[in-house]
Amino acid sequence: MAGGLAGGWSGAAWGLLASLVCAGIPAAVIALGVRRGRLDSVHLVDRTGRKGPMLAGLAAVVAGLVLLVVLGAPRLVTATAAVMLGWIVVLGAITLTWKISFHAGVSAGAVVVLAHVLPAAPTLVLGAILVVAIGWARVQVTHHTLAQTVAGAIVAAAVTWGVLALAGV
């Protein structure tokens, strides 16, 4: 979405490529793991099952980032892939010892990215409402505690802001 907002149809195409590689491949790995009975669900409720999908996600995002750089993707699309890499590294390291919420984290990080290309104040307000709703839902289905969802949102938002600042976006 950010690619389309920043670069029109061309940016949207770049964003689609980034999404297919950086998110589609890990999603396919998770779906295959569930189908084969190796993973508990697409939500990876059992933290011990997260290692393989995280490694697949790491490999996919690194490959996607290299592909985007080599092909000359717009700066925001490349920076967004770098943000995804940051999420995997930081949230992934935390989840090895504590089950931080990737759902809350990714949603909060996406809001930060969108606030870079849309009017910041209304984007952050509406985005915060959505992040709270996602965090609430994760707690209600007992996949996370309140602390895990809040930490996921704060950590991923900070990682996103830091990566975008380093990328000069």
The Cα 87–Cα 103 span in angstroms is 11
- Is residue 118 within 8 Å of residue 127, measured between CB atoms? no
Residue 4 pLDDT > 90: no
Domain ranges (residues) in the chain: 2-167
pLDDT of residue 104: 97
The answer to whether the Cα torsion of 84, 117, 9, 110 is positive or negative is: positive
Residue 119 pLDDT > 90: yes
How many C-beta atoms surround the C-beta of residue 31 within 10 A? 12
pLDDT of residue 6: 63
The per-residue pLDDT for range 143-153, each reduced to its tens digit, is 899 999 999 99
